[in-house]
Amino acid sequence: MTKKRFLLSCLMLFVAIGFGFIIYFSIILAGNYVIDDKKLVMHSSSSLVDENGQLLTKLFIENREIVSIQQVPQHVQDAFVAIEDARFYDHQGIDFRAITRALYRDILAGSKVEGGSTITQQLAKNTFLSHEKTFWRKTKEVLIAMNLEHKYSKSEILEFYLNRIYFGHGAYGIQAAAKLYFDKDVEDLTIEEGALLAALPKAPNAYSPITYPERSKQRRDVVLSVMERRGYLSPEEAVRLQGKTVAVQRNKVSKKEEYLTYIDMVLDEAEQKYQISNEEILTGGYTIVVPMKKELQESVYEKFQQDEYFPGRDPNVESAVVLMDVETGGVLAVQGGRDYVSKGLNRVNVRRQPGSVIKPLAVFGPAIETGQYHPYSMLNDDIVNYEGYEPRNYNHEYKGEVPLIDALTFSLNAPAVWLLNELGIERGKSYLEQLGLTTEDDGLALALGGMTEGYTPLELTKAYRTLAHEGTYTDHYFIKEVYDRNGQLIINRDGNEHKVFSEQTAWYLTRMLELVVKDGTGASGLTNEPLAGKTGTTSFTAVSGGARDAWFAGYTPNVVGAIWMGHDRTTETSYLQGGSRYPTALFKEILNDLPTDLKSKQFEKPLVVNDLEPPIKLEKVSDLKASLVFGGKRILSVKLTWTPAADERVRYHIYEVTNDHGAQKIGFVDGSGDYLVRSINLFRLHEYFIVPFDYLTDREGPASNISAVSGPFGF
């Protein structure tokens, strides 16, 4: 070789090397141009779990749970590499040998029968490119694949791939597939299970073990054979594993209908309170801890599907209910309609006129809080005209005056309006505002729940929780904690609270609302749970006996809630019948299904309060006798005897009847059936009667018979 030819060869070599570097860096630059690393951050499903860590459901656009390559057993990795890309660990993104072999087989077959794409190419195509079949798209796929190999390790690429690919039935990624088909985590997959999953990406629907178990087994066995041929299995292992049946234990992860209202309200709270968008929740891989009681939520949903709990034959009767933890304010269960659909009309948040449910909050509670009224204070029970407004009792009966406890127990309208008028409307509204119940209405009809908009079941539940929680108001929550995809705590609920009613007022209201359930308007239905609550009904005047809204709001020592029934639009053909007895009975049925840890035996009285004494029943005495007996100031006295009431709290006022002064009270005795009149005039004996007295209401009862004095020893 001459010197000139040698120099020319060297020059050509340097030129070739230079062109090689130019081509290489062009590939790198071109790959960098189309690669957006953010696209490698995959959508990951979020998990909704209860406070014990039990999975309730998943929230996702794509059902995917990201796992690291270290969590994927080696035999599972081997299955995918064997069937998808045998030279994965040897090539740099493009397997020219596989491409040549594929082209050769395509030519022999006269059509495309085998692909030559590597795992890296599949990752590039599925992550960064559209599915159009053009030369330029294929060129970009090659460029991106080579660039991925330059930027990431083989383990990282395989991890991206296994987390991204689709396995059928809505499962994206190896972990979601393991959960879906075998109800286990990826690290627990056996060899044959890993082979079955490796068989799916080629045609997830065609090889589904759920839909086509025989076809799935055949494809799995092909993977096992390839694993044996590539040296990952011995012939004996392959034969043994191919003899196994396909054992699928499906774990359906789709959103459950009974959770739809709860899920929507979790999403709303995340967005409104913590500024986490719905899309971010559905794609961010969060773990969200919620206070839901799974059994209670499912029980509520099931009961809402049963017509027997709803009035009339009209299928359009709707309902909504909220159940909340008394201690924490966490929402235990919620249902926004009988056939609630995701992101549909959530009646939990729809305002309705509350009717008499509002009375303890706007009238009776504030009255007791003033210290001027107590449960046995007497209220006016007459028809009164308040500048054109004349409230009437639902039973059209009026007693002139009734104790507050009776006005609440039997939901009498006239005394409630009279009392609000005495208190002042602004005072009542101020308490409502402290309970989160704002209104622009300022008429006396407020005492009966008559208002323009009204309140939602959620708002009333929170207000009644204040009564159950010793007078302290705390906001509700659906989200207790949120962890990111790395397990880091990013949200920890911290609620604020404030005092609205004193513990004494709250306890008095609880005791009176127990009587509402036992003897008053809330007596419909049966439950073994201690229950305090109030009914409410708003009239539909266009139809006699018709109603627009029916309510029950109440609480046990552990659970508080409100339930509404009615129509989305009340008309003369679609109106409510039966009033509040239906929601009351349904509420009690729901309580009968409380989980064991929420059941209770009785309300526990706070140590710092006085208990509510039971009412004193004043019965007429009809067997009063007056007799002369030895003793007293003048040898003889008059002894009065009668049969006393069983309740020893009854006080008896003693009256003497004279011709000169009429009836005069001369004394009293507590709980006894006799009284000694010591100062008498034997020549002017008088007649006597007694009157039972209730110190709680400061009222006397009916007078007894009048008895003249008989002789000594009855003669």
What amino acid positions are annotated as catalytic residues?
A: 84, 356
DSSP 100-115: HHHHHHHHHHTS----
* 644 secondary structure, DSSP code: -
| 562 token code pair | 């409100």
Let me know if 119 is exposed, middle or buried by CB neighbors in 10 A (0-12, 13-18, 19+).
buried
| Cα dist from 227 to 77, 156, 646, whole Å | 11, 22, 91
Measured CA to CA, the distance from residue 687 to residue 112 in angstroms comes to 122
**Contact 117/101 with Cβ under 8 angstroms?**
no
| 663 token code pair | 């009836």
Closest CA relative to residue 162, chosen from 152, 149, 171, 170: 171
Alpha carbon 9 to its chain centroid, in Å, reads: 81
Instruction: Give every CB contact of residue 250 below 8 A, 6+ residues apart in sequence.
Output: 180, 181, 183, 210
Instruction: Give every CB contact of residue 406 below 8 A, 6+ residues apart in sequence.
Output: 412, 615
SS3 349: helix
| 359 token code pair | 């009375």
Measured CA to CA, the distance from residue 416 to residue 400 in angstroms comes to 13
Tokens 């991204």, located at residue: 164
Query: For residue 29, which phi and psi values (nearest 5 degrees)?
Result: -65, -45
Measured CA to CA, the distance from residue 101 to residue 364 in angstroms comes to 88
**Contact 447/417 with Cβ under 8 angstroms?**
yes
